[in-house]
Structure 1
């Protein structure tokens, strides 16, 4: 599996600002040619964004499964290997580079056990962390450590971070959030975050059912108290962006801070 680049409340693997080589890009020379190869490990749809810094042109390559292929080729007299990452940037993203439609009327389950009730800790468009295109439609439920978290929709697990035991209120803790990302058959993704250490019980590649137990809540990452953070994403050329949805037959925007939700 690919190297973890730190988990924010969105997940994007990308090249760093220092012209360093991403783990999913390899360079090979053969005779008089230099080949730039992508090693795509993502098991859902994915796309690679290639930016030519010299011409300011951008190219998008879409994939439907893991693959290895040549994305750029140069004659060895035209460019030095060390200049490739000065002249080009590469960003590998979850999802298709563009989806025209998705199932906006799908009725998602509440992300916890039947008979349980939890308070909304931070609503969508919340002022603490739920703003901007990535997190605008995220929602938090107040949960003590070790509460059961269930899948709101069926799908395939495409990302798991499960090894953190650190949390706090500052931005420096964002990459410390234990989290899982699940791909749905309409091209969208759901993310669940702040699980306890080793609290996620599903693994990458698992096919899960709606309502299935996927892990146990915690307080890892940027978090002021134990809770479950979850969000629904659609992919765009700028990466995953949060979207509103229907949760237990109620529009997600109606879940206000302080409201109690009961899974009947």
Structure 2
């Protein structure tokens, strides 16, 4: 009986502590009886932190520059557990006011090696997966292990490399290995379905246009080995794909069944 009670108490305590778990990007500085709350953006792109008070439902947002440690809140006392219980925090890509102007004439490179040729298996605005926020993505059929290159100079701000899961079921959507690059005009490029351990870069790395950054695969929600990629801006809905120039050709002209050759 005592053991059972102990187990129940332990479960309740663990649940409580997990509920109050501090986000990894937050840290506290305590001086006398004053506590300052800092948000540390460890990414090479701007972010913003949304802060919701659970009682008043007041919502505030704070811009945090790349690699910045910013004091976003202060409170009297040292009770950080109660503080975390009273607030919810979410860090998001991009500034509070999302960019509206960017380089629409930038000429992106094809995301593979010179001398290579790949067939397009899905272009813009398809009913299968290129719709909604991803409607301007492009898919190239690639055998597993083909070299993927950066389409533009940028900084690595996100990646996944440890998955070996994939298939036609949507349950695999979050299992795709990927690389996310941030670019100087506030846009992002993303490269998805990479092979397990097929990422050649680390978060924070600066990369050059045409630099090899990974290897193609078949992870995530994928019907066959291929590379899914696109150019994205940040809106209130999140990542939203946009049309772009790819090897001097408007991306809308990359249609299913055609080939792209990198000279």
- Pairwise TM-score range, normalised by the shorter structure: 0.7 to 0.9
Matches within 5 A, 1:69-218: 69-76=70-77, 81-97=80-96, 98-133=98-133, 135-218=134-217
Aligned equivalents of 1:19, 1:254: Cα separation in 2: 50
**Which structure's residues are more often helix, by fraction?**
2
Pick closer, same or farther for the CA change 1:84–1:242 going to 2, 3 Å.
Answer: farther
Contact 2:111 2:150 in 1 (8 A): yes
Say which SS state the counterpart of residue 252 (structure 2) adopts: helix
Q: CA deviation at 1:59?
A: 2.2
Contact 1:42 1:94 in 2 (8 A): no
- In structure 2, the gaps of 5 or more residues are 1-18
Aligned to 1:62: 63
Aligned equivalents of 1:99, 1:148: Cα separation in 2: 31
Q: CA deviation at 1:67?
A: 2.6
Deviation per CA, 1:47-104: give whole Å up to 9, x if none. 2122334444432222222133332222349xx7555445432221223332131101
Contact 2:119 2:141 in 1 (8 A): yes
Aligned equivalents of 2:51, 2:180: Cα separation in 1: 24
Contact 1:40 1:66 in 2 (8 A): yes
Higher relative contact order (CA 8 A, sep 6+): 1
Aligned to 1:10: none
Q: CA deviation at 1:156?
A: 1.5
Moved more, 247-256 or 27-36: 27-36
Deviation per CA, 1:91-137: give whole Å up to 9, x if none. 2122333213110111111111222221222222222222222x222
Aligned equivalents of 2:20, 2:186: Cα separation in 1: 31
Say which SS state the counterpart of residue 175 (structure 1) adopts: helix
RMSD: 2.4
Aligned to 1:233: 232
**Deviation beyond 6 Å, 4+ runs, structure 1:** none
TM-score by length of 2: 0.82
Aligned equivalents of 1:244, 1:21: Cα separation in 2: 38
Contact 1:19 1:89 in 2 (8 A): no
TM-score by length of 1: 0.82
Moved more, 170-179 or 211-220: 170-179
Deviation per CA, 1:155-203: give whole Å up to 9, x if none. 1222222122221222332222111111111111111111111112122
Aligned equivalents of 1:169, 1:21: Cα separation in 2: 36
Number of residues of Structure 1 aligned to a counterpart in Structure 2: 245
- In structure 1, the gaps of 5 or more residues are 1-17
Aligned to 1:50: 51
Q: CA deviation at 1:254?
A: 2.2
Aligned to 1:4: none
Q: CA deviation at 1:45?
A: 1.8
Tell me whether 1:248 sits opposite 2:243 in the alignment: no
Aligned equivalents of 1:88, 1:188: Cα separation in 2: 30
Contact 2:108 2:247 in 1 (8 A): yes
Pick closer, same or farther for the CA change 1:205–1:27 going to 2, 3 Å.
Answer: closer
Aligned equivalents of 1:48, 1:28: Cα separation in 2: 18
